Amino acid sequence: MTLALFSRRPRGLPVTSTPVVVLGYDETPRLGSISIVVPVRDNPQGLARLVAWWRGLGKEERPLELIVVDDASQVPVELVAEGVLILLGGGRGPASARNVGWRAAKGKWVAFLDSDCLPAGGWPANFATGWKGEVAVQGVVRAMGTDWLSRYYESQGVLRPMAWTDDGRPQYLISANCLVHRGALERVGGFGERFPLAAGEDVDLGLRLSQMGTMRWCAEARVAHDFEPSLRAFVRRFLRYGRGNRMLAEGQPESAGSFFSPRPFLPLSRRPENFLLAVLAYLALVAGWLLEGHGIKSLQNHS
């Protein structure tokens, strides 16, 4: 996941919105054709919650499989549940871990989910709502908690694409909750493993997919994200985003690269504490941008 920009209004990326290769798929994303892929590192509580959700599903509600990719957790993941496959990611980051997962998947569609997310009722079957042959579908990510930081994340739409086409389609993906056709993943080579952090890798994938076919927003496919309620985690998140944005900028033409650079912004919810958090987020974005520019490597995690 990542934040491509913060602005008061979503706007389009300065890249072509017309696919270079127009692909469409006639395989409707039904439960029996969907594999779920979840990368995880050192999040036993979130994973336990997710597996409890999986076990609580009836047979008619359950997708094809749940693939958990353990990316070098300090305590190795050990789960015993019907339909759950555990793979090893090798500790190379969430982009690589997701690639391990989807390449082992049996389904024609792959739903990507984070270990700190909990699906709402009907997920991931609801991705099919309004589907018209798109190569990928973006779902909704809402804050699970009600603490002040979660309220900020929610009001800012941090895990919502912030770049859209004129006809209301997202120009990139948020991998905390999205669905991608396996054929499209194979065609673009999956996630770019040059991204070692949970930042930038999903935007990069979405931009490449958008050059092959259309993507769609699906308000019916919802998950709740458990944001860690600490300022330290808040700062680390935006440091990662700043680093991911720098990597994205370096992979774009010069005319588009500056689009990803940090810029001051106003909070969408004008509460006093949100102005302070907006300043802190911006400073962390700048710091991450500068750290990546100087090649300082750290902060690797999946949350």
pLDDT in tens, 96-112: 999 999 999 999 999 99
The DSSP bridge pattern shows strands 215-225 and 136-143 to be parallel
For the chain, how many structural domains are there in total? Answer: 1
**Rounded Cα–Cα distance for residues 10 and 17 (Å):** 15
Assigned domain for 253 exists: no
CB atoms within 10 A of CB 34: 24
Assigned domain for 77 exists: yes
* Residue partners of 87: CB distance under 8 A and separation at least 6: 67, 68, 69, 70, 100, 101, 104
CB atoms within 10 A of CB 98: 29
Q: Which helix (H) or strand (E) holds 140?
A: strand 136-143
Assigned domain for 134 exists: yes
**Token pair 């102005």: residue:** 275
For residue 9, the SS3 value is coil
Digitized pLDDT (tens) for each residue of the chain, 303 residues in all = 344 444 433 455 655 556 666 666 778 899 999 999 999 999 999 999 999 999 999 989 999 999 999 999 999 998 878 899 999 998 999 999 999 999 999 999 999 999 999 999 999 999 999 888 999 999 999 999 999 999 999 999 999 988 888 888 998 999 999 999 999 999 999 999 999 999 999 999 999 998 888 999 999 999 999 999 999 999 999 999 999 999 998 877 766 667 788 989 899 998 999 999 999 999 999 999 999 987 755 554 554
Residue type for position 44: P
Contact 70, 147 (CB under 8 A): no
Backbone dihedral angles phi then psi of residue 24, each to the nearest 5 degrees = -145, 155
Contact 38, 70 (CB under 8 A): no
Domain that includes residue 132, residue range: 31-230
Contact 65, 35 (CB under 8 A): yes
Which DSSP state fits 222? E
> What integer pLDDT is reported at residue 257 of this predicted model?
65
- What b/e sequence results for 43-56 when a residue is b if at least 16 CB atoms lie within 10 Å of its CB, and e otherwise? beebbebbbeebee
> What integer pLDDT is reported at residue 162 of this predicted model?
81
> What integer pLDDT is reported at residue 261 of this predicted model?
87
Assigned domain for 259 exists: no
> What integer pLDDT is reported at residue 79 of this predicted model?
80
CATH number at residue 108: 3.90.550.10
Q: How far apart are the first and last CA of the chain?
A: 9
> What integer pLDDT is reported at residue 259 of this predicted model?
78
Ramachandran bin of 192, using left for φ above 0, alpha for ψ from -120 to 50, beta for the remaining angles: beta
Assigned domain for 226 exists: yes
Residue type for position 123: W
**Rounded Cα–Cα distance for residues 170 and 13 (Å):** 10
Q: Which helix (H) or strand (E) holds 224?
A: strand 215-225
Q: What is the pLDDT of residues 204-250, one digit of tens each?
A: 999 999 888 899 999 999 999 999 999 999 999 999 999 999 999 88
Contact 139, 218 (CB under 8 A): yes
**Rounded Cα–Cα distance for residues 163 and 206 (Å):** 11
- What b/e sequence results for 159-189 when a residue is b if at least 16 CB atoms lie within 10 Å of its CB, and e otherwise? bbbbbbeeeebbbbbbbbbbbbbbebbebbe
Residue 203 in tokens? 């935007």
Assigned domain for 263 exists: no
Assigned domain for 291 exists: no
Assigned domain for 271 exists: no
